[in-house]
Amino acid sequence: MLRKTLFWAHLISGALAGLVIFMMSITGVILTYERQILNWFERADYVSEKPQNSEPLSIDALLELGSISNPGLNPIAINISNHSGAPITLSAGRSGSMPLNPYTGEEMSVGSEALDNFFNAVTGWHRWFNVSGEGRSKARAITGASNLIFLFLIVSGIYLWLPRIWCWTMFKTRLLFVSNPPDSQARDFNWHHVFGIWCAIPLLFIVATATVFNYSWANNLVYQIYGEEVPQRGRGAPAESNRVFLTAETGQQFLSLDELMHAARKISEEQLGSWQSISLNLPKHNDEQVSFSINQSLGGQPQKQFTLVLDRSEGTQKSLSGLSEQSPGRQTRSIIRFLHTGEVLGFWGQTIAGLVSFASLFMVWTGFALAYRRLIKPLLTKA
């Protein structure tokens, strides 16, 4: 009775949410290597040759040139990449950014705007059918509900995968692809079960983590499991301009931003070994400390991201913290964010996530085909 009930619930749920699951799966495949593709296009625009007898401009000089070129940009951080010829980027958070030539201070054009727009659109489809405005919440409710149904399909599918008769012959047809199936129905049955069982575990993580993004109760549960208070989200105060760094105005002898950046790079290389990028969070005039965000990856790996705090007067280390210093709830939430895309496990994690998303397309297709033969085709035959 349980098996029969689960079977019909599985079939009906798949028929209801199949098309949305197909859409989320195919967009997930397209987004698999988004970070690497964008980085590859950006690196093609890096400064290819160092100008003769030229040295990189100071951070203060770049800030000044940036303010002249774009007076409306109020940078809150300056990002430096550990790649030759990479621009030095003035970041204003969500308000925008400006990549500058490290030798001339001129604004650089890096990457492809069309490619950025393409991936933004695909991400929009993946999350909420690329709907904007008031309709976005409704669209997100549909994708969220479909994701929950997908989670049910995975869990119920694992149970339904088990054959009624436990023998190797029965298990073999559900574990391995049949080379010469007798007909298309047998092929679809075989493919649905084989793709389903081999992808079940990684899909379970991918779909379960998406639930945390879609529902506040799931997000809150991550922290409540550890007995922690749920962090409150809210809009911060508008970004202030941090361009002026004259020690005469502060009355204190602070090190220059270049000296502080040099100290941060030295500490990163000595204590972390390597880094991909360092972001200097521009201090306010009277701040006695300055913080740096250090990333050892392209992004998507919270275990390789660190925060370094230096004394602004002496350049000495005050603290160096990473994922392990965060509370268990925050650690788990950070990992969940990138476990969904597989990025937390690096390139191979992304690859696995992309492959199982691709396999989901076949599961949806074969599921529809099997449902059609069971429900629709008999009605057409009688008619």
Quote the percentage of the chain above a pLDDT of 90: 82
Neighbour-count burial for 296-310, b at 16+ CB within 10 Å, e otherwise: bbbebbbbbbbebbb
Where residue 76 falls among pLDDT bands split at 50, 70, 90? very high
What pLDDT, in 10s, does the model give residues 83-139?
Answer: 989 999 999 988 889 999 999 999 999 999 999 999 999 999 999 999 999 999 999
Report the pLDDT value the prediction gives residue 253, as an integer from 0 to 100.
Answer: 84
Q: E strands along the chain, which residues?
A: 77-81, 88-91, 97-100, 277-281, 289-295, 305-311, 317-321
Report the pLDDT value the prediction gives residue 234, as an integer from 0 to 100.
Answer: 58
Which residue bears the tokens 């705007």?
Answer: 113
Helix (H, G, I), strand (E, B) or coil at 133: coil
CATH class of 247-326: alpha beta
* Average confidence score pLDDT of the chain: 92
CA angle 210–216–222, rounded 5-degree value: 70
Report the pLDDT value the prediction gives residue 217, as an integer from 0 to 100.
Answer: 96
Confidence check: pLDDT of 269 > 90 = yes
Distance CA 374, CA 7 (A): 12
Confidence check: pLDDT of 252 > 70 = no
What pLDDT, in 10s, does the model give residues 183-201?
Answer: 999 999 999 999 999 999 9
Distance CA 182, CA 173 (A): 13
In terms of Cβ atoms closer than 10 Å to its own Cβ (0-12, 13-18, 19+), residue 152 is middle
Where residue 237 falls among pLDDT bands split at 50, 70, 90? very low
Which of these, 231, 260, 226, lies nearest to 245 by C-alpha position?
260
